[in-house]
Structure 1
Amino acid sequence: MTRKLGIAVIGLGPASLPHSKSLLDLADRAQVRFAVSRSAERAQAFAGQFPFPTTTDLDAVLADPSVEAVIVLTPPSSHLDVSARCLEAGKHVLVEKPLELTSERGQCLVDTARRTGKVFGVVLQHRFRPASLRLKAALDSGELGSVEAAFLQVPWWRPQAYYDEPGRGTLARDGGGVLLTQAIHSLDLFRSLVGVSRVVAAQALTTGLHRMETEDYVSALLETANGAPATLVTTTAAYPGYPERIEITGTKGFAALIGGRLRLAFLDGREEIVEAEGSTGSGANIMDFPHDAHRAVIADFLDAIEQQRDPVVTGEEALASQRLVDDILACARLGR
């Protein structure tokens, strides 16, 4: 970019940390004009960590022509209202996952983005990890052959204290449990790699390890885009938390993506490993992961604005992953 893009960060909860670190890294491309919170106390605490101007006045931010884009990090229940206001005010929008509480509200947000013509992206950063990009390239190029079977496991842990926070694990605030709130990153990546054409069977429940409204354990039998069998197991009851895992069996080789580390083993004897740095936020410390993937998401968002194109993860892509969550849970409710 020949100039810095003016950005506002809306919502200063835990999710603001990797985004703010990323924006510091991208200071040559973007300038944070405002960091916005409804809470003056939270804004003050944030100001002690990052050198960004803070405010509680969202109306003033949206009226400021120097703010060209916003990153919305508020709770899922507010994504439609906040993001739609920003889009209608002429701002490009990058919103945290999940898209919204329900697919219906998510569709309204996607429709608003298309109608206003602004760049609209969703933070599903697992697609941007180097190992994820290499695995997608191996699949797209045919290096692994055709997909014969696939497996997704998210064995994460959240203590009861996490769900004791107001709204955590509720339909009213989060829209769902482990699938929509934690496993959505891995599920979205999995869908982007192999596709999911059908949910064959599913089970969803709340284990005795948690007191919460929504599910903390989901398993499902799926079919990939080409009809191959796939298995999904996700939970936040696997103490102390382990890296998420994607395995893909192809006619020319096997891939194991564990956290951000990829191992490719080809039938001709070749092997390839893409190493990863840091944890994945699978345990009690939900922010225990590097921010490099978030930085890549924001960089792609900036590129999309500059190049007048869609970002990698569009609203439609995020909505497709959320509808898959709906399908799995609907199948589980039917008891098959």
Structure 2
Amino acid sequence: MLKIAIIGAGAISTAHIEGYLQFKDRCSIVAISDVYTDKAEEKVKKYGLDAKVVSDYKELLQGDIDLVSVCTPPYLHAEIAVDFLYAGSHVIIEKPMAASLKECDEINEAARKNGKIVSVIAQNRFRNPMMKLKAVLDSGLAGKIVHAQVDSHWWRGHCYYDLWWRGTWEKEGGGPTLNHAVHHIDALLWMRGRPNEVQAFMSNVAHDNAEIEDLSIAMLRYPDGTLGQVTSSVVHHGEEQQIIFQGLDARISAPWKLKASLSASNGFPEPHAELETTIQHYYDHLPNLPYEGHTAQVDNVLTAIETGAPVLIDGHSGRDTLELITSIYKSASTGECVKLPLEPDDPFYTREGVLKHATHFYEKNSHVENFTDTAITTGRFAGGNN
């Protein structure tokens, strides 16, 4: 029986707790830590847990915790993860992995030195539409991919950034590019690979209580000359998200939509019904996952600990995602066309470098300590909990 600790008892911890509770024969939540102990106590009471509550996670470092879920604000991820890795625990880190590429490297080095697992939450991979889209891409039925498109469209009211740690480069690490589009950027990298050039713009158009962006648009160039684009937003009503791949032979996406064309003699499109039927048949016969979302990723990590199998999303995947996001911030802040990879001598490699060079749109002059514990939205499609 694996012993689990939850660090951070905010809204996102619910997804982790409920995930672990699906596997009561394999693991048990024995501790919850939060600087606001009343929030941790509420979680213990709500879920009927036999778990101790502590205000300082370091009280748990001397215990025999097998696996830790880090659910704190992003600026604390690296310190907590590294401490537990050296204490002998495996670690699941809520997105984003850390506040800088340097911190990602420190986490991965701690995992390597101690022979422990790090998995970064990217629960969209563990959803049927995403898994099936990846399988169709891998089948090659759509042909060579010539364009990729991510629409990470969310909506957050002005008061969203009143929370004390949100809306600052220091503590939140960025706006929707980092904290919302991270899900789809991870999926894009998983399915399409890393671009080698990024040109981006960002702005703050609706939240003058935040330093960070609330809208960004990035253009991507891949080594083979094909292109991609990523829109990250918290100003889009309807919260509709999608990831689209245009192949030479067909267009496929999540949410699932399929279209294939043939060329008429004058170059205009005609329906390619035969290919559409073939791809749809392939898609329809792909198996569904036994679990989805956070629960599926928890299962993946538990299985890795139990059997030695690799996790689907490790610390290197988490770092790759942050690298692309950081390149978007660098390009949007400097006007440069950024070339990947970003090296350790890059001004944006450290948190201090990001704080110094990233564009500050507004200064945050006031805040609230906590919101009422209300439900959080997860978007129209396979969204994350933000």
TM over 0.5: yes
Structure 2 stretches lacking a partner, 5+ long = 261-271, 285-290, 337-386
Q: Deviations over 1:289-334 (max 9, x none)?
A: xx93100111111111112243111111110110111111211223
Q: Which amino acid is 1:113 matched to?
A: A
**Is 1:269 matched with 2:266?**
no
Structure 1 stretches lacking a partner, 5+ long = 275-290
Check the 8 A contact 2:154/2:240 in 1, yes or no.
yes
1:331 and 1:58 map into 2 onto residues whose CA distance is: 37
1:166 and 1:60 map into 2 onto residues whose CA distance is: 25
Q: Which amino acid is 2:74 matched to?
A: P
Displacement of 1:165:
0.8
Q: Deviations over 1:80-135 (max 9, x none)?
A: 11111111110111111111111111211111111111011111111111111111
Check the 8 A contact 1:199/1:331 in 2, yes or no.
no
Structure 1 residue runs of 4 or more that deviate by more than 6 Å after TM superposition: none
Where do 1:27-46 residues align within 5 Å? 27-46=24-43
Where does residue 318 of structure 2 map in the other structure?
Answer: 318
**Is 1:16 matched with 2:13?**
yes
Residue of 68, 85, 88 corresponding to 2:83: 85
Where do 1:1-336 residues align within 5 Å? 4-52=1-49, 53-56=51-54, 58-65=57-64, 67-224=65-222, 226-239=224-237, 241-257=238-254, 261-266=255-260, 267=272, 268-270=275-277, 272=280, 292-335=292-335
Q: Deviations over 1:132-176 (max 9, x none)?
A: 111111111212221011111111111111101102121111111
Q: Which amino acid is 2:192 matched to?
A: V
Displacement of 1:27:
1.4
Q: 1:210 to 1:236 in 2, by over 3 A?
A: farther
Equivalenced residue count is: 312
Check the 8 A contact 1:43/1:54 in 2, yes or no.
no
User: Based on CA coordinates, which of the two structures has the bigger radius of gyration?
Assistant: 2
2:37 and 2:326 map into 1 onto residues whose CA distance is: 36
Q: 1:200 to 1:23 in 2, by over 3 A?
A: closer
> TM-score if structure 2 supplies the norm length?
0.77
2:230 and 2:204 map into 1 onto residues whose CA distance is: 16
Q: Deviations over 1:171-219 (max 9, x none)?
A: 1111111111111111111111112323342101111344310111111
Displacement of 1:37:
1.9
Counterpart of 1:41 in 2: which secondary structure? Answer: helix
Displacement of 1:225:
5.3
Counterpart of 1:48 in 2: which secondary structure? Answer: helix
Check the 8 A contact 1:196/1:223 in 2, yes or no.
no
1:204 and 1:93 map into 2 onto residues whose CA distance is: 33
Counterpart of 1:204 in 2: which secondary structure? Answer: strand
1:89 and 1:201 map into 2 onto residues whose CA distance is: 41
1:170 and 1:313 map into 2 onto residues whose CA distance is: 27
Displacement of 1:247:
0.9
Q: 1:59 to 1:197 in 2, by over 3 A?
A: closer
Q: Deviations over 1:257-276 (max 9, x none)?
A: 1xxx32234542316377xx
**RMSD, matched Cα:** 1.8
Counterpart of 1:269 in 2: which secondary structure? Answer: helix
